[in-house]
């Protein structure tokens, strides 16, 4: 096993470069934390994880890094009602499924398109846009129950 081989996706450099952002060690670290475990953590959770590898990092810095990366499109901010914003480093075009019972957030794919890198130019199926409107960005969250919750696996409380 090689020790010093970090597999940071090329997209990190390209996006940061395109946006003219500096590759600060903090930003890289926060991004790596997000890539490591893709369970859509909140800023506080990212902070706790980031501190393990970089004890000097502050919550304000983490917020700042997240904000910058969301602004540049490197990271997605996922808003779920009444809950703190969560963050997602999945760069593929995708939506989210929020289980209203256990709170789990899963990535879901939009219907397949032929060119993966093409910008969103068509209207998502089933929606009727007002004339002249153009979709540049899809941000979709579906709500419902995950497999565990529909099959009743999770509600196994020992108290009756």
The stretch near Zn ion (CB under 5 A) out of 17-25, 45-53, 103-111, 133-141 is 103-111
Applying CB under 5 A, the site for Zn ion has a residue count of 9
Per-residue three-class SS string for the chain: CCCCCCCCCHHHHHHHHHCCCCCCHHHHHHHHHHHHCCCCCEHHHHHHHHHHHCCCCCHHHHHHHHHHHHHCCCCEEECCCCCCCEEECCCCCEEEEEECCCCCEEEEECCCCCCCCCCCCCCCCCCCCCCCCCCCCCCCEEEECCHHHHCCCCCCCCCC
Closest CA to 94 of 17, 32, 38, 159: 38
**89 counts as binding Zn ion under rule CB under 5 A:** no
**72 counts as binding Zn ion under rule CB under 5 A:** no
**46 counts as binding Zn ion under rule CB under 5 A:** no
Considering beta carbons, is residue 14 or 100 the nearer one to Zn ion?
Answer: 100
Rule CB under 5 A: choose which of 19, 59, 107, 110 binds Zn ion: 107
Considering beta carbons, is residue 27 or 76 the nearer one to Zn ion?
Answer: 76
Q: How far is the CB of 105 from Zn ion (least distance, A)?
A: 7
Closest CA to 110 of 135, 86, 145: 135
Rule CB under 5 A: choose which of 101, 106, 110, 141 binds Zn ion: 101
**77 counts as binding Zn ion under rule CB under 5 A:** no
**74 counts as binding Zn ion under rule CB under 5 A:** no
**24 counts as binding Zn ion under rule CB under 5 A:** no
Residues that bind Zn ion (CB under 5 A): 88, 90, 99, 101-102, 104, 107, 146, 149
């Amino acid at each position: 096993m090689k020790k010093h081989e970090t597999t940071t996706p090329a997209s990190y450099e390209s996006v940061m470069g395109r946006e003219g952002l500096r590759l600060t060690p903090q930003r890289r670290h926060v991004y790596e934390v997000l890539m490591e475990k893709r369970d859509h953590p909140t800023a506080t959770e990212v902070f706790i994880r980031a501190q393990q590898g970089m004890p000097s990092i502050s919550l304000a810095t983490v917020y700042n890094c997240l904000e910058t990366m969301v602004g540049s499109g490197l990271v997605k901010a996922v808003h779920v009602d009444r809950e703190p914003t969560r963050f997602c480093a999945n760069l593929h075009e995708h939506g989210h499924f929020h289980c209203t019972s256990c709170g789990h957030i899963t990535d879901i794919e939009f219907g397949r398109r032929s060119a993966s890198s093409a910008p969103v130019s068509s209207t998502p199926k089933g929606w009727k846009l007002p004339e002249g409107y153009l979709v540049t960005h899809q941000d979709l969250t579906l709500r419902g129950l995950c497999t565990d919750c529909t099959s009743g696996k999770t509600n196994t409380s020992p108290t009756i």
